Amino acid sequence: MTNTQPKKLWGGRFSGANDPLMEAFNESIHFDKKMYKADILGSKAYVKGIQKAGILTADEADQLLKGLDTVLSEWESGSFEIKFGDEDIHTANERRLGEIIGPVAGKLHTGRSRNDQAATDFRYWMREELKALKTYLVETVKVILERANAEIDIIIPGYTHLQRAQPVRWSHFLLNYAFLFQADCERLDQLYTRVNSLPLGSGALAGNPFNVDREMMAKELGFSSVINNSITGVSDRDFVAEFLFWASLVMTHIGRLSEDLIIYSTSEFGLITLADAYSTGSSIMPQKKNPDSLELLRGKSGRIFGNMAGFMMTYKGIPSSYNKDLQEDKEPVFDTASNLSSSLQITSSVIATLSISKERAKSMLTDDLLATDLADYLVRKGIPFRETHHVSGSAVRLAESRGCQLSDLTLSDLQGLHPLFTEDVIKVWDFETCVENRQSTGGTSKNAVNKQISLLSTWLTQQ
């Protein structure tokens, strides 16, 4: 009886067919087809490598290159047909290549393993994805800078422990996240360098037996270096772990920003209002305007961290060289990249379109936020801060007992707490003065905030 099953790349050793469940369990084409372009470009570079090594004639190389271009055009047009037996993107492309150009397609895999092929495809795909993600990160910083520059005169309460602490400029609050996203960009650049190293030519694990010019192939594919150990080439997935950690950290920053904005958008705070485009309503309560965009962003951080934790549990116990466990590297990365891409774009759009209430910001500024400035007033008169802290605390307690603001305390009241209070203490009760006193680098004065904007603007021009 004739076996009509398609030949597998590895099937020569086997006489029996796979269990259909195992067939489905083993295949990865349903997700790694995402790398079709990387796989074909990698194959084209390998054609040139083995032609230079004398494995292919010029005519054979030309047939292979043209055939691969045809396969690529089918993927791009949506006409490529995945067939039963296409385990993965590599099998599918090679099968289709053979249908187009015939037996010469069988020479493509000379000296190459799916181990180094898969690692090459993945690194190439991730490299291109990192470029896109950086674009979205940079755009987020740009949007924050535009708001910070336009709304620098708005002063809001700053919080520690979610308790009212000291006045800060709204711009200063926003720039906190701009600097976090800038650091994320810098970490991405470092990650990109480690991703951008070529495994192709490592073979299954021991290297290529035909002395292919790996440096030439690296240049062909835009890689900055080659991986210098063939076992490392096929089995290293540190770049996956690093990408998933990096993405988790970016989403942590997005989640924290989302939490702040969710709080500020509540009726209790009333400081900001989200655009309708990034809000939803309630199915039962007509008055509701829910910050679902921000809540989804906050929730995505848990999903992406979970992808990292899951992969690390797989990666930690794998022995050296390639093992099939490593097929579990791609789905968490694909899911993470997709969700992070959407999250960054939504984040920048939410920031760009929200509105802040200047009136509400002003009404939220109460004298308790100036308690430290009251202590600093006496420091400037030579009193140790530990003593002035106690004096200011006593003033706060006195105002609370009377149900009044600190500024409602009379000069006599304050002099009863310390004799060095004089009439000029009235200058303490000014929020603009308070923030302008923070002139040091990184402070919340207008000059200090403008320096932050300038630093980030300069950085943006370099991206």
- In whole angstroms, what is the distance from residue 185 CA to residue 113 CA? 34
Provide the annotated active-site residues.
161, 282
With the C-alpha atoms ordered 7, 11, 13, 19, is the resulting torsion angle positive or negative?
A: negative
DSSP string, 298-339: HHHHHHHHHHHHHHHHHHTTPPSS--GGGGGGHHHHHHHHHH
Q: Secondary structure of the chain: what % helix, strand, coil (to 5)?
A: 65, 5, 30
The three-class DSSP label of residue 79 is: coil
Which residues are 106's β-sheet partners? none
- In whole angstroms, what is the distance from residue 60 CA to residue 107 CA? 9
- In whole angstroms, what is the distance from residue 129 CA to residue 126 CA? 5
Q: Which amino acid appears at position 283 of this protein? A: S
**Residues 201, 214: contact at Cβ < 8 Å?**
yes
- DSSP code of residue 109: T
Name, in order, each residue with C-beta under 8 angstroms of 111's C-beta and a sequence gap of 6 or more.
50, 53, 55, 203, 208, 209, 210, 212
The three-class DSSP label of residue 262 is: helix
- In whole angstroms, what is the distance from residue 86 CA to residue 311 CA? 25
- In whole angstroms, what is the distance from residue 44 CA to residue 94 CA? 12
Tokens representing residue 425 in the block: 């203490």
Q: CA–CA distance from 136 to each of 38, 132, 143, 256, 435 (Å)? A: 22, 7, 11, 18, 32
